[in-house]
Amino acid sequence: MASVRVSMLVLMCLLPLTAPTDWALDVSPASSSDGVFRLHWEGPGNTVSLEESTQGDFEHLLTVYAGDDRAVLISGKADGVYRYRLLDEGRNVVANATATVVHHPLARAWAFFSIGLLVFLATVWVVARGARGDDEVKS
């Protein structure tokens, strides 16, 4: 029984060290409302290329990254659907992912902005008025 436990323990220790056999490309979040998302990949090799299709058909390509890293942060994207593919060292396509960007409506943004401005001005009013009263009390 003890030897089984030891074997299990050794196996558990080794599990995280086992290299993945297939490539996986994740995008998070898959639907973004601020133009920001992160692509992360795992796989059996090191050097990869990540390509973005600028028109959805992978005929017009932009190489987003080429190297040994395991993730890329994408930001500042306008509304649209963005398709990515991962290539291994032999230039074989090993994984695909899609991200969608739909920014918040401007009306919603201005509504939050207005609420923030109102709270800020009211806070300044409370503090400034209180501080003035404080001065009067002290004098």
Partner 1 sequence: MDVNAASGVLDAELGWVILVAFGVFWVVLGAWLGRRNQDLEGYMLAGRKVGMALGTATAMATWVTSNTTMAAPQLALQMGIWGMVGYSLGAVGLILFAPLARRIRVLMPNGFTSGDFVRLRYGKVAWRVFLAISLFYAFGWLISMGMAGGVLIHALTGIDYRIGMSVIVWMCVAYTLLGGLRAVIGTDFIQTLIILVGVVTLAWLAMDRIGFDDMHAAVLEQRPELLNLLMPAAIMFLFNNLLFGVGEIFHSNVWWSRAFAFREGVGFKAYAVAGLFWAPIPIVAGFVALAVPALGINVPAADMVGPLVAAHLLGESGAILVFIVVFAALASSLDSLLAATSDLILTDLYKGHLKPDADPASLAKAARWVVLGLGLFTWLLCLPRLTTLAELLYFTGAFVASTIWPIATGLFWRRTNPGGATAAMVLGTGLGLASYFLVGFYVAALVSAAVSMSVVLLSTWLRPADFDWSALDPATTVMGGGTGR
- Positions touching partner 1 (CB under 8 A) are 33-36, 38, 40, 46, 65, 67-73, 75-78, 103-106, 108-110, 112-113, 115-120, 122-124, 126-131, 133-134, 138
Query: Which residue lies nearer to partner 1 by CB, 8 or 118?
Result: 118
Query: What's the closest the beta carbon of residue 83 comes to partner 1, in angstroms?
Result: 16
Three-class DSSP labels, 99-139: EEECCCCHHHHHHHHHHHHHHHHHHHHHHHHHHHHHHHHHC
Hey, what are 80's tokens? 């649209």
Query: What's the closest the beta carbon of residue 3 comes to partner 1, in angstroms?
Result: 31
Query: Which residue lies nearer to partner 1 by CB, 58 or 72?
Result: 72
- 20 preceded by cis ω (within 30°)? no
- 10 three-state secondary structure: helix
Query: Which residue lies nearer to partner 1 by CB, 6 or 102?
Result: 102
Query: What's the closest the beta carbon of residue 113 comes to partner 1, in angstroms?
Result: 5
